[in-house]
Amino acid sequence: MSGKKVSRRSFLQGVSLAGAAAVLAACAPKATEVPQAEPTKETVAEEPTAPPAVEGAPIAFLCRTDIKGAYAADVAVEEWNKSMSSQITLDEPPEGDIVTKIQAAQAAGDLVWDGYAVMETPWATVEWVKRGIISPLDDFIASSTVANADKVVPGIIPTIKESVSYEGKQYGIPGNVGSVALAWFWEPLRAAGYEKQPETWDEVYDAAKKIKELYPDLTPFSTANMPLCDLFTMIWSAKDEPYDADGIIDIRSDESLNAIEWMRKMAEEELMPGTDVDQFGNWLKGGIAIISSFDVAGTMAQQTFGMEAADTGISFFPSTDSTHGGTPFWINSSVLLNKSKNPQGMVDFFLWWFGPDNKTTGKQIAEVAAKPCYSYTYDEFVKGKPEFEWEQKGIDLVAKSKWFPVNTSWTLTHGKTKAHLERLLDISQDFSRDIAISEMQASYDEIQTELSLQKF
């Protein structure tokens, strides 16, 4: 197995800027996959099928191409098949909307796969559960006879465990977690007088202002995804409870308005752009000094410019006395498909794949996919290793961060807020706190209207 494993450094070196999306896939959030087919009697809120485990029964596993590489799924399947009686067939998704294809096969009674990797948790959970696409894992986890299967769930970082659960049931076996963090190039940051990352909103502003004077060709500060990596991240950093009583990110709060005023000031002083169009691409070309981004930004810059040129830290906060809600995070989870022919076998593989005995996968995720979801993986492969210090800091923050509510509001909140935020950051338009209040209220009203029309 060791001969087939690639290091994170080697993996990144093999990826061009044009292929950046492939590297991001395991760490950066995708648009939420919402099945388009109408729910049917067979798929809506149906209890999962649970045929008894059959010794030696085959397992069919569907794995996204990018995850196959990031988690070395083919290597894991090969090792499993050497010693287990239930042999796994590893498939990659066919062309088209794979979620709709899965649902159609379930409705027709001809599903050929037992599990899928990955579902983005928690943003897709409600739709996938309500449409009967996935089954809860608890009974199969409890029944597993895989060695040390009972150590997997207790080993999950608690906030991640909350995020892969819904209505008291666990629906995902987490692989890796992505979160928002600052990344920077050392040369301009050190020229601005910083030997470590800026920790507060004021320090980011100060560093950006100095960088603008010293490096006029650089964008001093930017974000990779608006509003996730700027407004939402700043709400998390400033507010103990980042969402309101309706389970919607609290875009109308004072903390949100303070963040918008900070961003507007940055835009007016030409310290950050008012749009996220290709900002991550500009970062990869070395055109941005500091970026609030998916946490792989620093390592991807290292791939191009050298290991000492850039780095990744954690989020930034109003002050140094509290991290409040922490940072937004999301998880890539392997899931059990409803109407699976071998659900126990599929869950057994998931538990072995990410369990404490599978050292190869644990090391692979630490070195390539980043950040692992299990305390035992950090203990063995991350702690005390300087090259992975950013992962340890990142998971320490995730461990005390607020998870997203497992509901259907994420896609709506992100899309509706972005449109209003871009207007607020357009420096050709008038701005005041009252205007910001009005824009965020309009966004909130639009979100509520759309939510009222949803089936779930």
- Residue 105: which of 21, 51, 37 has the closest Cα? 37
- Residue 447: which of 418, 406, 425 has the closest Cα? 418
What residue spans define the domains of the chain?
A: 14-177+329-398
Q: Is 134 helix (H, G, I), strand (E, B) or coil?
A: strand
Answer for the pair 420, 180: CB distance below 8 angstroms, yes or no: no
Please give the pLDDT value at position 22. Answer: 39
Alpha helix segments (H runs only) across 185-253: 186-191, 201-214, 233-238
- Residue 171: which of 201, 139, 204 has the closest Cα? 139
Domain 14-177+329-398 part of CATH 2.60.200.20: no
Q: Is 59 left (phi over 0), alpha (psi -120 to 50) or beta?
A: beta
Please state the length of the chain: 456
Q: Report the C-alpha dihedral over residues 245, 246, 247, 249, rounded to 10 degrees.
A: -90
Please give the pLDDT value at position 53. Answer: 54
**CA-derived radius of gyration, the chain:** 22
Rounded CA separation 218/189 (Å): 12
Which residues are 156's β-sheet partners? Answer: 374
Q: For residue 156, what are its two tokens?
A: 């999950």
In order along its 456 residues, the chain shows pLDDT tens digits of 233 333 444 434 333 333 344 345 566 676 433 333 333 334 444 444 455 556 689 999 999 999 999 999 999 999 999 999 999 999 999 888 999 999 999 999 999 999 999 999 999 999 999 999 999 999 999 999 999 999 999 999 999 999 999 999 999 999 999 999 999 999 999 999 999 999 999 999 999 999 999 999 999 999 999 999 999 999 999 999 999 999 999 999 999 999 999 999 999 999 999 988 889 999 999 999 999 999 999 999 999 999 999 999 999 999 999 999 999 999 999 999 999 999 999 999 999 999 999 999 999 999 999 999 999 999 999 999 999 999 999 999 999 999 999 999 999 999 999 999 999 999 999 999 999 999 999 999 999 999 999 876
Sign of CA dihedral 278, 284, 289, 291: positive
Please give the pLDDT value at position 17. Answer: 35
Please give the pLDDT value at position 52. Answer: 54
Q: How many other C-beta atoms lie within 10 A of the C-beta of residue 366?
A: 22
